[in-house]
Amino acid sequence: MKETQTLKNKEKSKKVTERISGSEAVIKCLLAEGVDILYGYPGGAIMPVYDELYKYQDKIHHVLTRHEQGATHSAQGYARISGKVGVAIATSGPGATNLITGIADAQIDSTPMVCITGQVGSHLLGSDAFQETDIVGISTPVTKWNHQITKASEIPEVFAKAFYIAKSGRPGPVLIDITKDAQFEEFDFSYEKCTGIRSYIPVPDTNENDLNAAAELINNAKKPMIVWGQGVILGEAEEEFKAVIEKAGIPSAWTILGASAIPTSHSLNVGMVGMHGNYAPNVLTNQCDVLIAIGMRFDDRVTGNLESYAKQAKIIHFEIDPAEVDKNVKTDVAVLGNAKASLRALLPLLNTNSHKEWLQKFKDLYNIEYEKVIKDDLHPTKEGLTMGEVLKEINMQTKGEAAIVSDVGQHQMIACRYADFKTTKSNITSGGLGTMGFALPAAIGAKMAAPEREVVMIAGDGGYQMTIQELGTIFQQKVPVKIVVLNNEFLGMVRQWQQLFFDKRYASTEMTNPDFVAIAKGYHIDAKKVVERKDLKAAVKEMIDCDGPYFLEVCVEKEGNVFPMIPTGASVSDIRLE
Amino acid sequence: MDTEIKQYTVSVYTENNIGLLNRISAIFQRRHINIESLNTSPSEIEGVSRFTIVINITESQMKKIQGQIEKQVEVIKAYYHTEDETIYQESCLFKIKSDLLFDERQIQNIIKESNARIVTVNKEFFVLEKSGRTQEIELLYRELSVFGIMQFTRSGRIAVTKDEMKISTMLEAFQH
């Protein structure tokens, strides 16, 4: 097969071979890659693999999700908190297509994931056979790599390659489709991990001249500012990053996926950038003289109108993916490479600095934001419960040590803005794709990957109902995840836009909701509903103290808005506080 | 901002794997860029394929697309070139009624002057083959269409560059 020729590591070791079926080979490949948990849903075309899983259930724990989308999001949650590759498995046809949303989400958020799908027998390919879809064709635009296996002998090499691609460089999702006959076919199995592919350079070399140029710009800057993204977390560069900002005294802001790389309370952490980010870092993006982007990709939700984004600043971009450089924002210096290595090499080139006056500007603008927005969010005086005060209560009772898994919408922005993160890999959310329904299954994966951590899921009433069936998975697997639904009986973010930009025409955004507590209890999950402020603290305490899974519904004000806000297409300078 | 649209010939060296055509063409489709011509063939290196793609876009778009193509796991390297930097040919076939070959003296002159080649002749039709640059083929088409063309087909562009593309060296480096 072709892959044989593409692998760098051609040296044939003395391998022990054994004659086994393709489906058993799949399990052995997974074990060789250190996989001990799978999220999936069986069906006709993947049954031989499931039959082998039955035999290996003492070594690999299969989690039966209630929908294949749930399997991918669980695998994502697992990957995001552990840094390991998440694995999801499904049958052909609808099983495979149901994976697509999670795969697309993992692709845009650079989450390492391997998805395995069964496929009809190779003699039926292209015949519109029962439950046949061209999943390789369908998944091509949303995978880092994919491959269809039609012969059992391909399995070891394709699996080795898949795991290598998924986790190396800028991580991403990989899909392997295996025909049913390949699962049954017997062959001489041996396994060798992939260490390189000749056409694939996962981490580009860092150019010393670029590093020196970056250091010179930073050392000469009067008003430098950093915007960091998930690249710091994926590159495990948290310590190096902290050392750089502390030595050079640079105010640093984060994108939504960069959150938690350094503690929220760090004196140089100046908040979140972007559409619903903090006032200071957004406004001062257009006042800094050097903007240093680290492991972020200048997403349009971060930059607002590109024509008026940081035009006064020299731009330095630390980036692992060369295709991201100059894609949205033209850089003056691009430092390619892994964030950990680049920042480590940068540190000795930097002068010690503090930029006190410049940092004070961030504090001054924070005070404005506090008076206009944060105070009312966290310490409301009016009647309705705010989403912010729920977050504040969770922060207090988890001592800021919880991993927060948020869904998509208003509550997500509130969760990311107000969650108190003390440790890295604590903010798990759907950033680039904005997938409603992400949180509940992702929280399952996160909690299973890090059972020692408190995992609190926060969703709105809309997104929660998109994957509510995963309560069944939580119940069956006894995953002690804490589920918080902030219920405003609206698709809140869309409603906010309708209010602000569509003359309050609330087209199809009001939700008539079921009895969420009864549903949770139907799955034998302890549950409570809070409608008044006076009951919030005790309810959150009861949730945190509960050993098992717990569902908490908090009825929040119906028409609460999330501010600050940069309207679509506006400049970051035009961020609105009300 | 760079707004000048130019014609670029993109050369992509890839592993010879199933599905890569889909991946590469999707990069253009997603950005709503029409591919003027696309050809895939073996390259000068065994086991390595070469895509030759012609598109009309701005250079800044071109650079971004080059990056997106190179990002594909099985792509070894992508280059882009302007017209002046390549030596290219296209090939075409004309099917024309045989009567015209004998009745219209002008057709014989056109064939001769255009350096076209008669591939086959039978009682009903003859087939003419012409390789050349785009304009040459377009000229021949215009000249022959006056007399009537039964069928016409044209290949994608194939091109070599004036400058060296150091793929072999790059592949050697990959092995270490």
Q: Over the stretch A160-185, which tens digit does the pLDDT of each residue have?
A: 999 999 999 999 999 999 999 999 99
Which of B21, B51, B58, B73 is most worth mutating to test chain A (most A CB atoms within 10 A of its CB)? B73
Q: Which residues of B touch A175 (CB under 8 A)?
A: none
What tokens appear for A460 in the block?
């709105």
B31 to A296, A341, B16, B62: CA distances (angstroms): 22, 34, 25, 11
Q: Which residues of B touch A8 (CB under 8 A)?
A: 174-175
On the question of pLDDT at B176 being above 70, the answer is no
Pairing of strands A455-460, A427-429: unpaired
What pLDDT, on the 0 to 100 scale, is given for residue A11?
47
Q: What is the DSSP letter of A306?
A: G
This model of the complex carries an ipTM of 0.91
Helices (H), B79-163: 98-103, 105-113, 134-145
What pLDDT, on the 0 to 100 scale, is given for residue A224?
98
- Which pTM was predicted? 0.95
Q: How far apart are CA A442 and CA A50, in angstroms?
A: 23
What pLDDT, on the 0 to 100 scale, is given for residue A179?
98
Q: How confident is the model at residue A2 (pLDDT cuts 50, 70, 90)?
A: very low
Q: Write the residue in A137, A196, A199 that is nearest to B15 by C-beta.
A: A199
Q: Over the stretch B86-99, which tens digit does the pLDDT of each residue have?
A: 999 999 999 999 99
Supply φ then ψ for residue A206, to 5 degrees.
-90, 130
Is A2 catalytic? The answer is no
| A71 and A99 Cβ atoms separated by less than 8 Å | yes
On the question of pLDDT at A371 being above 50, the answer is yes
Amino acid letter, A9: N
Cα dihedral: A47, A48, A50, A53 (round 10): 170
Query: Of A127, A128, A133, A37, which is closest to residue A86 (Cα–Cα)?
Result: A37
What pLDDT, on the 0 to 100 scale, is given for residue A14?
55
Q: Over the stretch A96-113, which tens digit does the pLDDT of each residue have?
A: 999 999 999 999 999 999
Q: Over the stretch A256-294, which tens digit does the pLDDT of each residue have?
A: 999 999 999 999 999 999 999 999 999 999 999 999 999
Contacting B with CB below 8 Å, chain A residues are 2-3, 5-6, 8, 136-137, 140-141, 144-148, 165, 196-200, 321-327
Query: Of B98, B21, B6, which is closest to residue B52 (Cα–Cα)?
Result: B21
Query: Of A370, A366, A355, A379, which is closest to residue A222 (Cα–Cα)?
Result: A355
Q: Which residue has the tokens 């999943």?
A: A135
On the question of pLDDT at A6 being above 90, the answer is no
Q: How far apart are CA A94 and CA A69, in angstroms?
A: 11
Helix (H) or strand (E) run with residue A493 in it: helix A492-501
What pLDDT, on the 0 to 100 scale, is given for residue B105?
86
Is A493 catalytic? The answer is yes
Q: What is the DSSP letter of A370?
A: I
Residues whose CB is less than 8 angstroms from the CB of residue A157 and which lie 6 or more positions away in sequence, other chains included: A1, A3, A4, A7, A192, A194
Interface check for B15 against chain A (CB to CB < 8 A): the answer is: yes
What pLDDT, on the 0 to 100 scale, is given for residue B174?
66
Mean pLDDT confidence for A183-201: 96
Q: How far apart are CA A12 and CA A156, in angstroms?
A: 14
Q: How confident is the model at residue B172 (pLDDT cuts 50, 70, 90)?
A: confident
Cα dihedral: A334, A338, A343, A349 (round 10): -60
What pLDDT, on the 0 to 100 scale, is given for residue B165?
81
Q: Which residue has the tokens 């290219």?
A: B88
| A387 and A377 Cβ atoms separated by less than 8 Å | yes
Q: Over the stretch A403-452, which tens digit does the pLDDT of each residue have?
A: 999 999 999 999 999 999 999 999 999 999 999 999 999 999 999 999 99
- Top-confidence residue, B168 or A472: A472
On the question of pLDDT at B2 being above 90, the answer is no
Q: Which residues of A touch B15 (CB under 8 A)?
A: 2, 5-6, 198-199
Amino acid letter, A229: G
| A78 and A37 Cβ atoms separated by less than 8 Å | yes
Query: Of A80, A81, A139, which is closest to residue A115 (Cα–Cα)?
Result: A139
Q: Over the stretch A491-531, which tens digit does the pLDDT of each residue have?
A: 999 999 999 999 999 999 999 999 999 999 999 999 999 99
Q: What is the DSSP letter of B96?
A: E
Q: What mean pLDDT, rounded, does chain A reach?
A: 96
On the question of pLDDT at A10 being above 50, the answer is no
Mean pLDDT confidence for B2-31: 93
What pLDDT, on the 0 to 100 scale, is given for residue A3?
44
Q: Over the stretch A109-131, which tens digit does the pLDDT of each residue have?
A: 999 999 999 999 999 999 999 99
What tokens appear for A49 in the block?
């693999």
Q: Which residue has the tokens 């692709």?
A: A107
Helix count (H) and strand count (E) of chain A?
25, 20
Where do the domains of chain B lie, and which CATH numbers do they carry? Answer: 6-86 (3.30.70.260), 87-154 (3.30.70.1150)
Is A490 catalytic? The answer is no
Q: What is the DSSP letter of A177?
A: E
- SS3 call for A98: coil
Q: Which residues of B touch A3 (CB under 8 A)?
A: 17
Supply φ then ψ for residue B122, to 5 degrees.
-135, -170
| A297 and A177 Cβ atoms separated by less than 8 Å | no
| A386 and A557 Cβ atoms separated by less than 8 Å | yes
Q: Which residue has the tokens 């950005």?
A: B31
Amino acid letter, A211: L
Query: Of B5, B29, B4, B11, which is closest to residue B162 (Cα–Cα)?
Result: B11
Q: Over the stretch A458-481, which tens digit does the pLDDT of each residue have?
A: 999 999 999 999 999 999 999 999
Mean pLDDT confidence for A217-232: 98
Orientation angle between helical segments A387-398 and A410-418, nearest 10 degrees: 40
What pLDDT, on the 0 to 100 scale, is given for residue A434?
97
Cα dihedral: A490, A493, A498, A504 (round 10): 50
**What is the CA A158 to chain-centroid distance, rounded?**
25
What tokens appear for A403 in the block?
């991993």
Q: How far apart are CA A61 and CA A400, in angstroms?
A: 30
The answer to whether the peptide bond before residue A263 is cis (omega within 30 degrees of 0) is no
| Shortest CA distance from A202: residue in chain B | B73
Which of A163, A198, A298, A336 is most worth mutating to test chain B (most B CB atoms within 10 A of its CB)? A198
Supply φ then ψ for residue B76, to 5 degrees.
-85, -50
What pLDDT, on the 0 to 100 scale, is given for residue A150?
98
Helices (H), A350-419: 356-369, 375-378, 387-398, 410-418
Q: Do A2 and B68 touch (CB under 8 A)?
A: no
What pLDDT, on the 0 to 100 scale, is given for residue B3?
85
Q: How far apart are CA A471 and CA A481, in angstroms?
A: 10
Query: Of A145, A154, A147, A146, which is closest to residue A182 (Cα–Cα)?
Result: A154
What pLDDT, on the 0 to 100 scale, is given for residue A99?
98
